[in-house]
Structure 1
Amino acid sequence: MTDEDSNVLLLNAQDIHDCTDITGLLDVLARGYRASARTPDKVPARHVIEHPAHQAFSLFMPAVLPESQIMGIKVSSFFPGNSRRGLPAINGAVLLLEPDTGRLQAMLDGSALTALRTAAMSALVTDRLCPLAQPTLAVLGAGVQARAHIRAIAAIRTLRWVRVVARDMDRCRAFALTMSEQIGVPVEAVKSVAQALVDADIVCTTTSHDTSSPLVMAHQLKPGVHINAIGGSTVHACEVDPGLLGQALIHVDDPQAAMRESGEISQALARSLITPTQVMGLEALLQEPALSWVAATSYFRCVGHASQDMLVARHLYAAALERQLGKRCDYLTSSRKNLTQVRGQHAPNGEG
């Protein structure tokens, strides 16, 4: 191992964007999910620390994936008031560790990785549940997750048009213009959720909604629509009408977590609109070759799972090494050497 190999690789948001291949990432996530069904991963329940004074919370999510030889932890905080300070609402980092030694291999921007992972999971499920080759897309929100979802869905489908709605109309218009230039598809900023949903084949909700009053009502949606529910980060938040779930195929990345943490699912269960057996994981959906699903209204809630973050982190790490992206940091190694030298100078007989 060379000195450079022992350095930590730092990947910021731009590095992550530059080494992202959505198609390749979808294959990695699908294989990883199937592998976890064969060999249970060592993924403890994520630890949540709430910050009531800021109506915020922090997540600590470790994972060891034996079959994939991956180990690491994600630390992520959600502070909704950050927008008033000109800061991102989601901040954090993913630490990727060498499974044979425990050595820190890489540190990746947590916000960028989370957006990419979430959008990739949505695209993976959408690819199986939306049979249309040229669908239309409605997106609620104009932030990091909205951007990542538009890019990811555009990578798996030839979109006819995209409509975006957000609280700030000026920001929404600027966002729509930027996204239209990036994906080469008409992206329109509209003034209401109802306008955005008209004739939409795919809906992505990526908001910071925090109340039990739904943003998306069942009567606003066409039959056979597919919904990726992403925002609404607490169990009290409902982006989508829980009544819709009784009429839809429900898929989640983590059934137990979804029943605890998803506002729509917990409300639908509490009102006996659905049963726990209807909240399905992705095992059958991600079988290879893909099953032929009957076109139907479908709903996917991604609550997030540390195994997904680690799979994405390892994929990005390998891509960054291949493309020589990111920055090497020898600060930890240098500090350790310097500390040894200092101790040697002060210890009697050279003993520290």
Structure 2
Amino acid sequence: MLILGASDVAAVFGMAEAFAAVREAAIAHFRGETVVPPRGAMGLERSDCELLVMPGVVGGEVFGLKLWYAFAEPREPLPRSSAVILLLDPVSRVEVVLDGGVITDLRTGAMTGLAAAELAPEGTRMIAVIGAGIQARTQILALVHALDSVTEVRVCARRHGPLAEFVEAMRAELATAYPQRMISVVAAADPAAACQGAGVVVAATTSATPVIDDGWLDPDVLVCGVGSHSPDTAELDPATVARAGLVVVDTYGGGLDGAGDISRVVAAGLLDRAEVLDLGALLADSADRSRPRGGVRVFKSVGFSAADVVSARLVARRAIELGLGTAIEIHLQRDR
């Protein structure tokens, strides 16, 4: 078995690789080439820990299982939130256990980035992100990667201290990653101010209730929700989802049925589920001219295991080529 730590994963998996992996996984899912069972959600009450178990098969040849967890309070030396992935790749004849935190963060950002490349208003210069955590970082990186017209990033969060630190860190990271582009990162006074004039607005919070009011949005905007991931929570205003010219989800099982942002609006009879598009359909037919080119568009993602599996396969194969990781024996050798 090969063990790949976070540094091994980061050495071979960046935003460009995440975009490629998510695109492949989303289109494969749309074409029926994946097996993605409903994820299991559990909790450890004594530790106040949330657990998500996400198995998946892609292309009938590679299997993966991700365990994602998050603690309500720090539990050092454990990360407050991270993931571990088990990958079985018979083509490469390896079992791999790898850090899933880097993959989870980047592939979640890549989902939004791929949707924005198709749905964001042309020439979008300003984006707004509500939230200043791990997911907010990769949402910004993905949007800047996808939209070369972006010149300003506005960020808003409840706590001003962490927000100031986040803004400074993002300024430095973007300046290093894109030295030829002048991209300002600013802290907005409140969510309404952040949304004003933004072509793309992203909710990346832990809130169970909407954090983006429909009245704050410009007439031509893409609104994305990436934080809430259960049927009884929603970051997006139902009014926004109900009036959107196009609603796209990462998968029907996750983004539509598994998140209150969309499912509640469908249940209320304000949105026809047959009109909701999944990301793979969007990417597989990017030349479709029937999609709205103006107005409000909505993208909702909660993550799906096929994206983790394809990402992990890419990481494992490149790591093997480069001799990264640590090989250990954990099985009896009676089959050899």
Structure (1 or 2) with the larger CA radius of gyration: 1
TM-score (normalised: structure 2): 0.87
- Counterpart CA distance in 2 for 1:288 and 1:155 is 21
In the alignment, is the contact (CA less than 8 A) between 1:117 and 1:308 conserved in 2? yes
Q: 2:185 aligns with which of 177, 184, 187?
A: 187
Indicate if the aligned counterparts of 1:128 and 1:290 stay in contact, CA closer than 8 A: no
1:10 matched to 2:9? no
Match of 2:147 among 152, 157, 167: 157
Contact residue 19 and residue 107 of structure 2 kept, 8 A? no
* Superposition pairs of residues 188-267 of structure 1, within 5 angstroms: 188-210=186-208, 212=209, 214-248=210-244, 249-267=246-264
Q: CA offset at residue 250 of structure 1?
A: 0.6
Instruction: Identify which of 270, 274, 277 aligns with 1:277.
Output: 274
Preserved CA contact (<8 Å) 1:82 1:88: no
Per-residue deviation, residues 58-89 of structure 1 (Å, max 9, x unmatched) = 1221112135x32111111233x124868644
Q: Which residue of 2 aligns with 1:343?
A: none
Structure 2 counterparts to residues 1-352 of structure 1, below 5 A = 7-12=1-6, 14-52=7-45, 56-66=49-59, 69-79=61-71, 81-83=72-74, 88-99=79-90, 103-104=94-95, 106-158=96-148, 159-184=150-175, 185-210=183-208, 212=209, 214-248=210-244, 249-288=246-285, 290-292=287-289, 293=291, 294-324=293-323, 326-332=324-330, 336=332
Greater displacement, 251-260 / 16-25 = 16-25
Partner amino acid, structure 2, of 1:307: A
- Aligned Cα root-mean-square deviation (Å): 2.5
Please give the alpha-carbon distance, in whole angstroms, between the structure 2 residues aligned to 1:206 and 1:87: 23
Residues 28, 59 of structure 2: 8 Å contact kept: no
Which residue matches 2:179? none
Shift of 1:122: 0.9
Q: Is the Cα–Cα contact under 8 Å of residues 205 and 231 in structure 1 kept in the other structure?
A: yes
**Aligned equivalents of 2:158, 2:79: Cα separation in 1:** 16
CA distance in 2 between counterparts of 1:206 and 1:168 reads 14
Task: Structure 1 unaligned segments of length 5 or more: list them.
Answer: 1-6, 341-352
State, as a whole percentage, how many aligned pairs show the same letter: 27
Gaps of 5+ in 2: 176-182
How far, CA to CA, are the matches of 2:221 and 2:284 in structure 1?
22
- 1:101 and 1:173 map into 2 onto residues whose CA distance is 45
| Counterpart contact for 1:25–1:315, Cα < 8 Å | no
Report the alpha carbon displacement of residue 21 of structure 1 after superposing the two structures with TM. Answer: 3.8
Distance 1:54 1:233, change over 3 A: farther
Q: 1:28 to 1:330 in 2, by over 3 A?
A: same
Query: How many corresponding residue pairs?
Result: 323
Separation in structure 1 between the aligned mates of residue 77 and residue 215 of structure 2, nearest angstrom: 37
Task: Report the Cα distance in structure 1 between the residues aligned to 2:94 and 2:318, rounded to whole angstroms.
Answer: 19
Using the size of structure 1 for normalisation, the TM-score is 0.83
